[in-house]
């Protein structure tokens, strides 16, 4: 399923420059210092950037939105123009549908009273994701037929990466200009299957590093202060720990501080002398490998180890 979805995305084309441009507002919001934050008390969802606002341990909302950005840019929508989604959720015959562009862990069900195909289950996952993305609290997609009794999710339209805003009108999505602050995701993240196999927390952590690299003047190695991680990105300790899997898959290299544990906590806490932070580097070339092969090998070796 992952291989098929990746192949379908390749057929949609390649975004200009071989990268998907995601506005920084999707992953970053200016830190606010008016509240006490900790890994046990993250910012309220309304104060988090869109990426961590829709982050879930299950579901495909984050992946679907990013895939939709890839699709809009890959088919050549002009800069500053609003892409038009005329692809059905489920394609008929050889027609491509959105269900062909995602991979979810489902199987054909032929036992019991209900028979459900893989496509049926993927459609339900898509509809659930679109309902979440279109909610008042999120506002990352618009449902033109949302009031209809049938086909209410067809023709969904992308909204601006910043998501829910104060005021009555959500901003339409347009393809970013080159001078806009953006996180650049390698096209191979989509065409080699990574978008389907990485957890939401791993995708968000990766985007945080790419944004921090831009903030640090495109430095190879970056570190993320806890206040910035919490207030700017809305990333808690669980998501921060995602670097272990990304390191295992070779997507991220980690320079470990000897005075901190693998989760980044100080081994011997001293408020007057905090040890250096872990540093991270995104290995862009690693995305060129087939995700299924890399992840399968890494997890197999982990089990054997």
In CATH, what number is assigned to the domain containing residue 199?
A: 1.10.10
The predicted pLDDT at position 115 comes to 46
Q: Is the pLDDT higher at 26 or at 223?
A: 26
Closest by CA to 95, choosing from 85, 83, 87, is 87
Q: Distances from the Cα of 22 to the Cαs of 50, 59, 148, in angstroms?
A: 11, 21, 31
- Measured between alpha carbons, how far is 20 from 186 in angstroms, rounded to an integer? 6
Domain end point (choices 158, 184, 205): 158
Give the mean pLDDT of 265-273: 50
Closest by CA to 79, choosing from 18, 15, 31, is 15
The predicted pLDDT at position 259 comes to 55
Question: Are residue 33 and residue 78 in the same domain, yes or no?
Answer: yes
Task: Mean pLDDT check: name the lowest of 10-14, 140-144, 214-218, 272-276.
Answer: 272-276
Question: Are residue 27 and residue 104 in the same domain, yes or no?
Answer: yes
Give the mean pLDDT of 135-161: 94
Task: Mean pLDDT check: name the lowest of 29-43, 84-98, 151-165, 245-259.
Answer: 29-43
The predicted pLDDT at position 14 comes to 95
Helix-strand-coil split of the chain, %, nearest 5: 40, 10, 50
Question: Are residue 259 and residue 205 in the same domain, yes or no?
Answer: yes
Q: With cut-offs at 50, 70 and 90, classify the pLDDT of residue 274.
A: very low
Residue 243, in any domain of the structure: yes
Question: Are residue 63 and residue 126 in the same domain, yes or no?
Answer: yes
Neighbours of 261 (CB within 10 A): 11
Residue 27, in any domain of the structure: yes
Mean of per-residue pLDDT scores for the chain: 87
Count: domains in the chain? 2
Residue 114, in any domain of the structure: yes
Residue 95, in any domain of the structure: yes
How much of the chain, in percent, has pLDDT values that exceed 90?
Answer: 62
Question: Are residue 91 and residue 197 in the same domain, yes or no?
Answer: no
The predicted pLDDT at position 225 comes to 85
Question: Are residue 150 and residue 273 in the same domain, yes or no?
Answer: no
Residue 149, in any domain of the structure: yes
Task: Give the pTM.
Answer: 0.89
3-class secondary structure, 21: strand
Structural domain of residue 47, as residue ranges?
2-158
Question: Are residue 71 and residue 153 in the same domain, yes or no?
Answer: yes
Residue 182, in any domain of the structure: no
Question: Are residue 206 and residue 150 in the same domain, yes or no?
Answer: no
Q: State yes or no: pLDDT of 96 exceeds 60.
A: yes
Q: Is the pLDDT higher at 267 or at 202?
A: 202
């Amino acid at each position: 399923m992952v291989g098929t979805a990746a192949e379908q995305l390749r057929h949609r084309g390649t975004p200009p420059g071989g990268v998907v441009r995601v506005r920084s507002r999707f992953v970053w919001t200016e830190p606010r210092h008016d509240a006490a934050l900790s890994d046990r008390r993250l910012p309220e969802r309304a104060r988090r950037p869109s990426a961590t606002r829709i982050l879930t341990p299950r579901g495909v909302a984050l992946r679907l939105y990013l895939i939709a950005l890839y699709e809009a840019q890959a088919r050549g929508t002009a800069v500053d123009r609003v892409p038009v989604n005329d692809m059905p959720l489920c394609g008929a015959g050889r027609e491509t549908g959105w269900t062909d562009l995602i991979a979810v862990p489902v199987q054909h069900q032929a036992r019991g009273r209900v028979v459900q195909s893989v496509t049926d289950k993927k459609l339900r996952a898509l509809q659930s994701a679109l309902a979440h993305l279109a909610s008042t609290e999120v506002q990352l997609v618009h449902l033109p037929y949302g009031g209809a009794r049938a086909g209410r999710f067809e023709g969904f339209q992308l909204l601006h990466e910043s998501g829910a805003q104060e005021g009555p009108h959500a901003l339409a999505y347009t393809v970013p200009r080159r001078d806009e602050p953006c996180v650049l995701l390698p096209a191979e993240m989509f065409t080699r299957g990574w978008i389907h196999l990485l957890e939401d927390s791993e995708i968000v952590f990766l985007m945080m590093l790419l944004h921090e690299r831009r903030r640090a003047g495109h430095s190879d190695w970056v570190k993320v202060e806890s206040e910035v991680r919490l207030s700017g990105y809305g990333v808690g300790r669980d998501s921060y720990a995602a670097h272990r899997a990304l390191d295992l898959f070779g997507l991220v290299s980690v320079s470990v501080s000897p005075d901190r544990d693998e989760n980044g906590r100080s081994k011997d806490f001293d408020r007057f002398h905090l040890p250096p932070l872990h540093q991270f580097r995104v290995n862009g070339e690693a995305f060129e490998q087939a995700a299924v092969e890399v992840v399968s090998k890494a997890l197999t070796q982990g089990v054997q180890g």
